């Protein structure tokens, strides 16, 4: 049937073929994450485009967005559109702008029951540089498979946020990370990736607000200050 | 010049979309127009209504309405604006399109005819057509059902010569007299000496004949495309399901697309007004993510909107008006066709807005306000939105990515705020004192005096908390 056999090197260079002992290189499809240690462990050297990535995290506010923000900022500044589907909290425009995301290119969608449909539409449209979704816990493997099919071959960074409780359940996403917060940064355990499995968790330092940044000190409310000793804890 | 005549033989009836079959139109108690199903049952023009009902008991009967026919013809003229800017009405039921100047653009008369036929099929109008060098010649050939292109005068004259002498518009006694002379077809008539004919049948028919033959000029009054677009359509029956309106609505959007094409405009927003059977109206606004003129896109968006619409009462009429139009920028098409992956951003946004409602799909907009509640603005997404200038945040104090919808009160234990464990403060207080101007206004954030802190709890969560006269509150998260 196929008269001309493909050279082996060409077959191995395909995105859907990977070898157990090496990380496949997909340079044109990846976006540098901005964290060198993480890039070294991700196939292609960065966040993949055209594939689902699952990030499993239990609590917000541990620095999990800081993991993606450098990549999102570079996509946004290149003129790309970003979409947040059902984020757990309201985005605060000044912070996103300060992180380098263009606010007018950040779409926030309240989809509710239509979240999976909405996510599929966004991914399949091919018009978005980044799609971040917080799907309901009940999203099943079939819906995830549909999303993976929708995003395949599109120039979109697709990221699903899910609780760590689903780590044991099967998922068609080619990249799955489990995050845990710690005092100095973030622990990233790569649950699944294309290529050889990851041996040990990574410790990333995420820039955090607080002591290092200069906060404006104003006169304290005398009534409250008298009642609270919290300021002593800071000083 | 090459005139394409479009004759809509069933226009009086087909001006009523969504009518059931068989159906017939009645004028002063006599049937004057029947559809195919009625004709098959034996109903024909000129019958008494009682005869027609005897032949087809299920016949739906409508009163003839000249105003409605004129509106339908005007809507078809708008629609035809996509082919040529030179359109003339040949009332009551035909259009004349001058296509000689745009043959190259479409790739020949056959291509235009194919597009016209497809368009009429989509709007379900029955069509007969012919193309010829004179407007009247094309019209007579179209009425006679000679569906062909006659690019040369000779071919057209030969075709005209074989038509019978019964020409609509000529007085009955003229036709009778011609029959008495034994003249069967227009060719026979044309061979008679003109002076004698003029004495016998009058000036008007002879002039018509000479115009059709192209021997005297026949200037046409061009259809004036309206300055603003507003078109209504009356439904023959009350429609109770929104989806059923898609077909009638599509006729309106077809006309809109033609009008936009001929006036070189794009539409950004339009309104579909529904008139209910209790004479009340409701409006369905349609917005496009970017100015558009594409009929297929209109139809898709309309279907999405109608799929969600709950009708308050049955609908009797539709009216479409273009609200915001912009000039179409001169754009050059790509030389090589580029593969488009996916439907693109604009269509996706429109679909989401149609399904989820406009308020559910928004983009952020920074606002110059120190109060966190007011620093985030929301806008409808639009592709041609100007981007805000690069923010000059630099040394500004940290702001959290996420904000709670409303500050959440925290309890305090031994002087420390609690949020899933005791919070340790990581920064010095930042005083926000702002907003005296809208104090007391409904829905406004009002005057704030707060000390904000960055705080961390034992689970490693970084929070933004504040303290005011009422105690500690959680307001955001540094994610």
Using a CB–CB cutoff of 8 Å, tell me whether B342 touches chain A. Answer: yes
Using a CB–CB cutoff of 8 Å, tell me whether B459 touches chain A. Answer: yes
Handedness of CA B460, B463, B466, B471 (dihedral sign): negative
pLDDT tier at A223 (50, 70, 90 boundaries)? very low
Find the closest chain A residue to B450 by CA distance: A221
Contact B425 A230 (CB under 8 A): yes
Contact B425 A94 (CB under 8 A): no
Q: Is-contact B64 B33, C-beta < 8 A?
A: yes
Cβ–Cβ contacts within 10 Å for residue B286, how many? 22
Average pLDDT (B398-424) is 89
Contact A229 B415 (CB under 8 A): yes
Q: At residue A85, does pLDDT exceed 80? A: yes
What CA–CA distance (Å, rounded) separates A43 from A51? 12
Cβ–Cβ contacts within 10 Å for residue A195, how many? 17
Q: At residue B7, does pLDDT exceed 90? A: yes
Q: Of the given ranges (A49-58, A132-141, B241-250, B255-264), which has the lowest mean pLDDT?
A: B241-250
Q: Is-contact A61 A33, C-beta < 8 A?
A: no
pLDDT at position B246: 87
Contact A217 B430 (CB under 8 A): yes
pLDDT at position A217: 39
Average pLDDT (A91-112) is 89
What CA–CA distance (Å, rounded) separates B248 from B267? 20
Q: At residue B458, does pLDDT exceed 90? A: no
Cβ–Cβ contacts within 10 Å for residue A2, how many? 5
> In chain B, what percentage of residues exceed pLDDT 70?
94
Contact B459 A62 (CB under 8 A): yes
Q: Of the given ranges (A54-63, A109-118, B152-161, B387-396), which has the lowest mean pLDDT?
A: B387-396
Contact B459 A59 (CB under 8 A): yes
Measured at the alpha carbon of residue B275, what is the angle toward residues B271 and B281, in degrees to the nearest 5? 70
Contact B460 A209 (CB under 8 A): no
> In chain B, what percentage of residues exceed pLDDT 90?
28
Contact B361 A109 (CB under 8 A): yes
Minimal CA–CA distance to B105: which of B227, B269, B261, B225?
B261
Using a CB–CB cutoff of 8 Å, tell me whether B434 touches chain A. Answer: no
Interface mutation target, options A77, A83, A127, chain B, most CBs of B under 10 Å: A127
Q: At residue A25, does pLDDT exceed 60? A: no
pLDDT at position A234: 41
Q: Of the given ranges (A122-131, A162-171, B179-188), which has the lowest mean pLDDT?
A: B179-188
Instruction: Compute φ and ψ for A193, nearest 5 degrees.
Output: -155, 165
Average pLDDT (A77-96) is 91
Q: Mean pLDDT score of chain A, rounded to an integer?
A: 81
Q: What is the pLDDT of residues B89-147, one digit of tens each?
A: 998 899 999 999 888 888 889 999 999 999 999 888 999 999 999 999 999 999 998 88
Minimal CA–CA distance to B63: which of B208, B231, B216, B234?
B234
Instruction: Find residues 390-409 of chain B whose CB sits inside 8 Å of chain A.
Output: 391, 393, 395-405
Q: At residue B19, does pLDDT exceed 90? A: no
SS (H, E, C) chain B: CCEEEEECCCHHHHCCCCCCCCEEEEECCEEEEECHHHHHCCCCCCCEHHHHHHHCCCCEEEECCHHHHHHHHHHHHHHHCCCCCCEEEECCCEEEEECCCCHHHHCCHHHHHHHHHHHHHHCCCCCEEEEECCHHHHHHHHHCCCCCECCCHHHHHHHHHCCECCCCCCCHHHHHHHHHHCCCEHHHHHHCCHHHHHHHHCHHHHHHHHHHHCCCCCCCCECCCCCCCEEEEEEEEEECCHHHHHHHHHHHHHHHHHHHHHHCEEEEEEEEEEEECCCCEEEEEEEEEEEECCHHHHHHHHHHHHHHCCCCCCEEEEEEEEEEEEECCCCCCCCCCCCCCCCCHHHHHHHHHHHHCHHHEEEEEECCCCCHHHCEEEECCCCCCCCCCCCCCCCCCCCCCEEEEEEEEEEEECCEEECCCECEECCCCEEEEECHHHCCCCCCCCCEEEEEEEEECCCCCEEEEEEECCEEEEEEECC
Q: Write down how long chain A is.
A: 235
Q: Mean pLDDT score of chain B, rounded to an integer?
A: 86
Which residue reads 């290149």 in tokens? Answer: A78
pLDDT at position B335: 52
Handedness of CA B39, B41, B47, B53 (dihedral sign): negative
DSSP letters, A175-210, are: EEEEEEEETTEEEEEEEE-SSSPP-S-EEE----SS
Select from B361, B375, B416 the Cβ nearest to the Cβ of A94: B375
pLDDT at position A218: 37
Contact A63 B342 (CB under 8 A): no
What CA–CA distance (Å, rounded) separates B237 from B316? 7
pLDDT tier at B343 (50, 70, 90 boundaries)? low
Average pLDDT (B23-30) is 88
pLDDT at position B165: 84
pLDDT tier at B243 (50, 70, 90 boundaries)? confident
Q: Is-contact B451 B430, C-beta < 8 A?
A: yes
Interface mutation target, options A70, A106, A155, A210, chain B, most CBs of B under 10 Å: A210
Contact A214 B397 (CB under 8 A): yes
Interface mutation target, options A209, A212, A219, A231, chain B, most CBs of B under 10 Å: A209
Cα dihedral B48/B52/B58/B64 (nearest 10): -50
Contact B365 A208 (CB under 8 A): no
Contact B403 A90 (CB under 8 A): yes
Minimal CA–CA distance to B403: which of B363, B380, B374, B446?
B374
Select from B344, B454, B461 the Cβ nearest to the Cβ of A127: B344
pLDDT tier at B322 (50, 70, 90 boundaries)? very high
Cα dihedral A47/A49/A54/A57 (nearest 10): 40
Please indicate whether residue B383 or residue A81 has the higher confidence score (pLDDT): A81
Q: Is-contact B231 B78, C-beta < 8 A?
A: yes
pLDDT tier at B86 (50, 70, 90 boundaries)? very high
Using a CB–CB cutoff of 8 Å, tell me whether B462 touches chain A. Answer: yes
Burial of B291 per CB tally in 10 Å (0-12, 13-18, 19+): buried
Contact A65 B401 (CB under 8 A): yes
Select from B365, B397, B462 the Cβ nearest to the Cβ of A215: B397
With beta carbons under 8 A apart, name residues in chain B contacting A213.
Answer: 397-398, 427
Contact A128 B345 (CB under 8 A): yes
Select from A89, A114, A230 the Cβ nearest to the Cβ of B402: A89
pTM of the model: 0.66
With beta carbons under 8 A apart, name residues in chain A contacting B431.
Answer: 216-220
């Amino acid at each position: 049937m196929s008269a001309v056999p493909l050279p082996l090197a060409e077959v191995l260079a395909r995105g859907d073929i990977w070898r157990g002992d090496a990380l496949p290189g997909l340079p044109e499809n990846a976006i540098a994450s901005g964290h060198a240690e993480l890039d070294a462990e991700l196939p292609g050297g960065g966040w993949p485009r055209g594939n689902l990535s699952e990030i499993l995290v239990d609590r917000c506010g541990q620095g999990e967005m800081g993991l993606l923000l450098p990549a999102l900022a570079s996509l946004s500044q290149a003129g790309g559109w970003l979409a947040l589907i059902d984020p757990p909290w309201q985005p605060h425009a000044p912070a996103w702008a300060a992180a380098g995301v263009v606010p007018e290119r950040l779409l926030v969608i309240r989809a509710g029951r239509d979240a999976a449909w909405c996510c599929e539409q966004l991914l399949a449209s091919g018009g978005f540089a980044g799609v971040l979704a917080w799907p309901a816990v009940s999203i099943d493997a079939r819906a995830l498979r549909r999303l993976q099919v929708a995003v395949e071959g599109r120039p979109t960074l697709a990221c699903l946020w899910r609780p760590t409780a689903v780590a044991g359940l099967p998922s068609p996403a080619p990249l799955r990370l489990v995050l845990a917060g710690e005092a100095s940064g973030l622990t990233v355990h790569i649950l699944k990736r294309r290529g050889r499995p990851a041996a040990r968790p990574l410790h990333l330092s995420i820039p955090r607000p607080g002591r290092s940044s200069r906060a404006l000190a104003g006169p304290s409310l005398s009534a409250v200050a008298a009642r609270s000793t919290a300021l002593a804890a800071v000083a | 010049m090459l005139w394409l005549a479009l004759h809509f033989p069933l226009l009086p009836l087909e001006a009523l979309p969504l009518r059931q079959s068989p159906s017939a139109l009645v004028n002063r108690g006599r049937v004057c127009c029947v559809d195919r199903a009625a004709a098959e049952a034996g109903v024909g023009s000129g019958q008494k209504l009682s005869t027609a009902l005897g032949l087809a008991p299920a016949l739906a009967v409508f009163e003839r309405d000249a105003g409605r026919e004129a509106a339908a013809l005007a809507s078809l003229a708008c629609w035809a604006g996509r082919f040529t800017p030179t359109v003339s009405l040949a009332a009551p039921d035909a259009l004349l399109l001058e296509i000689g100047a745009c043959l190259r653009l479409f790739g020949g008369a056959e291509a235009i005819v194919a597009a016209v036929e497809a368009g009429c099929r989509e709007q379900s109008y029955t069509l007969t057509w012919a193309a010829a060098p004179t407007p009247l010649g094309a019209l007579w050939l179209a009425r006679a059902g000679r569906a062909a292109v006659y690019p040369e005068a000779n071919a057209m004259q030969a075709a005209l010569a074989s038509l019978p002498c019964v020409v609509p518009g000529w007085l009955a006694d003229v036709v009778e007299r011609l029959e008495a002379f034994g003249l069967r077809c227009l060719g026979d008539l044309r061979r008679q000496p003109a002076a004698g004919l003029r004495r016998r049948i009058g000036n008007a028919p002879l002039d018509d004949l000479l115009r059709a033959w192209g021997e005297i000029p026949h200037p046409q009054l061009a259809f004036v495309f309206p300055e603003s677009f507003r078109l209504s359509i009356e439904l023959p029956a009350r429609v109770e399901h929104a989806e059923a309106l898609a077909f009638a609505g599509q006729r309106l959007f077809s006309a809109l697309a033609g009008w936009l094409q001929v006036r070189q405009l794009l539409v950004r927003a339009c309104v579909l007004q529904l008139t209910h059977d209790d004479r009340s109206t409701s409006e369905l606004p349609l917005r496009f993510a970017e100015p558009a003129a594409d009929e297929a896109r209109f139809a898709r968006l309309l279907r999405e909107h109608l799929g969600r619409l709950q009708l308050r009462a049955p609908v009797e009429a539709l009216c479409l008006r273009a609200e915001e139009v912009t000039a179409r920028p001169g754009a050059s098409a790509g030389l090589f066709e580029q593969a488009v992956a996916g439907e693109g951003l604009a269509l996706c946004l429109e679909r989401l807005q149609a399904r989820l409602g406009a308020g559910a799909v928004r983009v952020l907009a920074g606002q110059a306000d120190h109060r966190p509640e007011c620093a985030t603005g929301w806008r409808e997404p639009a592709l041609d939105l100007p981007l805000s200038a690069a923010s000059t945040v630099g040394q500004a104090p940290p702001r959290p990515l996420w904000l709670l919808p409303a500050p959440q009160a925290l309890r305090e234990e031994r002087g420390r705020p609690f949020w899933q464990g005791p919070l340790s403060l990581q920064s010095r207080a930042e005083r926000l004192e702002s907003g005296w101007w809208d104090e007391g206004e409904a829905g406004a954030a009002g005057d704030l005096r707060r000390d904000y802190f960055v705080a961390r709890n034992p689970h490693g969560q970084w929070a933004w908390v504040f303290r005011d006269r009422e105690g500690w509150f959680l307001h955001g998260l540094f994610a």
